[in-house]
Amino acid sequence: MTHATRLAGKVAIVTGAGHGLGAETARVLAAQGAKVGVADIDLAGAQSVAAEIEAAGGQALPVQVDLMSEDQIKAMVQAVAARFGRIDVLHNNAAALDMAQRQSDRDVCNVAIEAWDRALDVNTRGAMLCCKHVVPVMLEQRSGSIVFSTSGFGLLGDVTLTAYAASKAALMALARSVAAQYGKQGIRSNAIMIGFVVNDHAQKSVPEEIKQILLAQHLTPELGRPRQIADVVAFLASDESSFITGATIPVDGGFTSHSPAMVPLKEYFVRQGSNKL
Ligand SMILES: NC(=O)c1ccc[n+]([C@@H]2O[C@H](COP(=O)([O-])OP(=O)(O)OC[C@H]3O[C@@H](n4cnc5c(N)ncnc54)[C@H](O)[C@@H]3O)[C@@H](O)[C@H]2O)c1
């Protein structure tokens, strides 16, 4: 089987697919044969990604959804199931990450309560509600794969983005709950813990100096690219990963794999001219 056909016959929903990593994932899943529900609060973004997929010979349905609304989530799931007849893959990718959200999500004493509520509502409650409405469809098929996008912020303490971090930590638990609850009925559920990926939307506004600080903590020569995330989602969506469930897989260039002392130690050793301890 080639990559062009490994998802043939499968139907996927990608939330937050109008931009960034979700858009790239939608494109890659479609290129591998999946029919894709391209869901986003930004209808124009979803329509443009779906049009690109169709122009490349794939099949896609743009759907507008605000993940803060259970009614809209229900309607999104029904629209995709009605159009394509089944749902095999759910990628809970969307997150509230616009500039206004990030700037008001700070340390605990200074996080705006609206930013806290929005992060938990969109990132966590939204993903849970997507599962609530997609899992029954997968249970009827007795198969399905759910992928949650989380972050190193959900694992490691940091000085800002308190609400985002809590929302992403919760997704790791949610991924395991779904795996434990529905695994015997053929549903797999995994989380990917993503490192810093420069995309065309949220992260392009991050100052260069911060990118360099983060790059020093990745073990790879470069920060991530959307395609590197999309390829892992496609693998988890495919039957090639059929024995992987309940896992949180770092897709982070080693960001969460090493000692916090590594970077200053490296600099120290360079100054000393040796790494003898
Ligand atoms: N880019 C990174 O470095 C990075 C790092 C770690 C984790 N992640 C995770 O990857 C995922 C994608 O991130 P990204 O960088 O592509 O962000 P992005 O801001 O480019 O994309 C997020 C998408 O979610 C949509 N969205 C926001 N609120 C919504 C709502 N209420 N309902 C429906 N859609 C909504 C946005 O319109 C947007 O299209 C997120 O879950 C993020 O936490 C990204």
pLDDT tens-digit readout, 138-160? 999 999 999 999 999 999 999 99
Q: What is the mean pLDDT of residues 71-100?
A: 98
Give the C-alpha distances (Å, rounded to integers) separating 96 from 31, 67, 90, 149. 27, 10, 18, 12
Ligand 1 contacts CB of residue 27 (under 6 A): no
Q: What is the pLDDT of residues 175-193, one digit of tens each?
A: 999 999 999 999 999 999 9
Which two tokens mark 192?
């990917």
**Would you call 244 helix, strand, or coil by DSSP?**
coil
Our answer to whether residue 164 is catalytic in this structure is yes
**Strand pairing category for 59-64 and 248-251:** unpaired
* For helices 226-237 and 20-31, angle between their N-to-C axes, nearest 10 degrees: 50
Distance from residue 268's CA to the centre of ligand 1 (Å): 37
Q: What is the mean pLDDT of residues 197-210?
A: 83
**Would you call 13 helix, strand, or coil by DSSP?**
strand
Q: Let me know the angle formed at the C-alpha of 140 by 94 and 12, rounded to the nearest 5 degrees.
A: 30
Which among 15, 21, 193, 206 is the best mutation to test ligand 1's pocket, defined by most ligand atoms within 8 Å of the CB?
21
- 265 phi, psi to nearest 5 deg: -65, -40
From the list 84, 116, 148, 164, the catalytic residue is: 164
Least confident interval from 22-26, 41-45, 155-159, 198-202: 198-202
Residue nearest to atom 36 of ligand 1 (CA): 16
Question: What is the band of 200 on the pLDDT scale with cuts at 50, 70, 90?
Answer: confident
User: Tell me, what's the pLDDT at 196?
Assistant: 97
Q: Is the pTM of this model over 0.85?
A: yes
Distance from residue 179's CA to the centre of ligand 1 (Å): 23
CATH number 3.40.50.720 given to 11-272: yes
Distance from residue 202's CA to the centre of ligand 1 (Å): 7
Distance from residue 36's CA to the centre of ligand 1 (Å): 17
Ligand 1 contacts CB of residue 171 (under 6 A): no
